[in-house]
Amino acid sequence: MDLTQRKWLAGCVVCLSACGANSLGSGTAPDTTNDADTASDTATAADTGPLQDTVSADALAPLDGQADAGTDSSGDASPDALGDAIADAAGPSLLAVDVTAPDLVVEGQARTVKVRAGHAQQGNGAALGSPGIGVTVEVTGGTATPSQGVTDLNGDFSTQINATTGDTAVDLLVAVTVTDGVAPDVLRYFSIPVAVQGLMTTYLPAGTQAREGPVFHGYSSVCDATGNNMYQGVCTQLVSSPVNWAWGSGFSVAWSGWLYAPVAGEYQFSSNYWVDGFVKIDVANTPVANIDTPGGGYSATVSLLADTWVPLTMSFIPNGGSNNMHLGWVPPGAAAWSPVPKANLASPR
């Protein structure tokens, strides 16, 4: 089955109990002693004599989908007193899968896809986390490393995905299969947009566009050789700068894209240096700056989750004199202010 055919199935969570039913040995009743199964047991007969146990032997078929006896109510995925590898007193064992995929992949930056697979009780969709369950990740528009494997002792499998240069999306098909073939595949499909580093920037009225980062523009006394013009934190000749950031007027600028928060916590956004003009900044749909100043600053704190890209929009209009526009921060754990790096800024391809 190719990726297109498998993708058609991915809209549904295939979560079926394994087939098979234990049958009692001819003319015998279930035993009542809760001793463990042994390798000599069969998967479809109740024991008698020295191998007495309450339920038909599951040691050779731990995923047979049959309920344990009423004496087993642990509901865990560990061997129990009845010898079952999967305790399923509440009903047939189900294959449950949770996949955590990023909502954005930036070209040149790996992102993690996490899979947790295991067996769950009827009516309980949470994966318990079982080892040895096969996982395959099929990718178009990128790569996955590794692309296949089995869940670890905690029931987890992780892979790193990267976008292929030039593609606009990374399509993932995650297939999870119990390796003994008893349970069918569980499929998950994700289409993740691809972005590139830097904020999409538009200068009006010229309509000039660029991808910028860091946003650290304006007048600088150390840039005498370039007419005091600093662009993206570097002294830049006017012919290589979209506008005269030191002394220019009669233009406006808009930035849009995403900002990456590597760790969870409170992020302090500020200019640190003075800004000059009308400045508006929203991070994660939270206002950070909305000022019109001939020379002032801004500061605001935004709480962000770890390993997330959040929306970012900014605008600037000069109001006469020299110009300054800075996007800076102090991330959690950082000792000092710095411009937000280009690697932490992205926009659609």
What b/e string do you get for 312-336 counting C-beta neighbours within 10 Å, with b at 16 or more?
bebbbbbeeebbbbbbbbbbeeeee
CB atoms inside a 10 Å sphere around CB 204: 12
Q: What angle do CA 81, 84, 90 make, to 5 degrees?
A: 95
CA-to-CA distance for 211 and 225, rounded, in angstroms? Answer: 25
Please report, for the chain, the start and end positions of each structural domain, with discontinuous segments joined by +. Answer: 3-13+95-194, 34-91, 198-348
Task: Say if residues 215 and 225 touch (Cβ distance below 8 Å).
Answer: no
CB atoms inside a 10 Å sphere around CB 266: 11
Comparing CA positions, the residue from 235, 244, 237, 234 lying closest to residue 206 is 244
Residue 7 contacts by C-beta under 8 Å, 6 or more apart in sequence? 171, 173, 189
- Residues, the chain: 349
Task: Say if residues 182 and 95 touch (Cβ distance below 8 Å).
Answer: no
pLDDT per residue, tens digit, the chain (349 aa), is 444 444 433 443 333 233 232 322 333 334 334 444 444 444 334 444 444 443 333 332 333 334 444 333 334 443 444 444 433 333 344 577 889 999 999 999 999 999 988 876 544 555 567 888 889 999 999 999 999 999 898 889 999 999 998 889 999 998 888 654 455 568 889 999 999 999 999 999 999 999 999 999 999 999 999 999 999 999 999 999 999 999 999 999 999 999 999 999 999 999 988 888 899 999 999 999 999 988 889 999 999 999 999 999 999 999 877 889 999 999 999 999 999 999 999 999 8
SS3 content of the chain, % helix, strand, coil (to 5): 5, 40, 50
- Residues 3-13+95-194: name the CATH superfamily: Immunoglobulins (2.60.40.10)
Q: What is the CATH number of domain 198-348?
A: 2.60.120.1560
